[in-house]
Amino acid sequence: MDKLVLASNSAGKVREFSALFADLGIAIVPQGELGIAAAPEPYCTFVENALAKARHASEQSGLPALADDSGICVDALGGEPGVRSARYAEPEASDANNNAKLIARLHGKTDRRAHYVCALVLVQHALDPEPLIVQTRWHGELLDTPRGQHGFGYDPYFWIPALGMTAAELDPTQKNTISHRGQALRELMALLRK
């Protein structure tokens, strides 16, 4: 396998996955470059949405496909925004608006625990009966004020107590080592080697 379709057009995800797969000699092609529209994400779990996206991208391209569904789950909000992380502030969803809504919803709450989730699915073909599936978590807390210039999404607010930094303050290489996506990719690579 030397090429995978990434079932995403997120510039941040394309950068992260391209960097992580480069060492394996596998090129990542965003589905948009192949004219593939985004798949619907109607499910309430990360795994179901990732599987639907991977199957859709593989079916449309005829290539193996990789999909992730990821987001942030906040304990004090019963897991919000969860699978709706990228669309949290609809109809005006953007990183800035999503973050503003999340911080507003946390106003007055002392429990700031949160975790990123990444469900990563790889299919060899659209009807693959044995997709490779991993799901990981990256634990932290949420700040009221953003810090850092790297990352995307909720990264400027996602505080890692053990490091004394937000995810947006991490060097991209360091982030790829410890993030939910980095963890999921390492687990996926272990499955691929088997």
Domain containing residue 166: CATH number: 3.90.950.10
* pLDDT reading at 90 higher than 90: yes
* pLDDT reading at 92 higher than 80: yes
Tokens of 153: 């999404």
Q: Judge whether 111 and 132 are in contact, CB under 8 Å.
A: no
Give the pLDDT score at 23: 74
CA atoms within 13 A on the CB side of 94: 3
Give the pLDDT score at 1: 79
The residue among 75, 150, 163 whose CA lies nearest residue 116 is: 75
DSSP letter at 173 equals H
Residue-range definition of the domain harbouring residue 26: 3-193
Over range 79-86, report the average pLDDT: 96
Give the pLDDT score at 12: 74
Q: Structure pTM?
A: 0.88
Q: Please identify which residue in the block is written with the tokens 């080697």.
A: 193
Rounded to whole angstroms, the Cα distance separating 43 from 93 reads: 19
Please tell me which residue in 2, 23, 69, 111 is annotated as part of the active site. Answer: 69
Q: Judge whether 47 and 119 are in contact, CB under 8 Å.
A: yes
- State pLDDT tens for residues 142-194: 999 999 998 889 999 999 999 999 999 999 889 988 999 889 988 988 887 77
CA atoms within 13 A on the CB side of 153: 21
Give the pLDDT score at 191: 83
Number of domains in the chain: 1
CA-derived radius of gyration, the chain: 16
Rounded to whole angstroms, the Cα distance separating 163 from 7 reads: 32
**Burial state string for 154-183 with b = 16 or more CB within 10 A and e = fewer than 16:** bbbbbbbeeeebbbbbbeeeebbeebbbbb
SS3 call for 40: coil
- Calculate ∠ Cα 125-126-127, nearest 5°: 95
* 69 counts as catalytic: yes
Give the pLDDT score at 21: 78
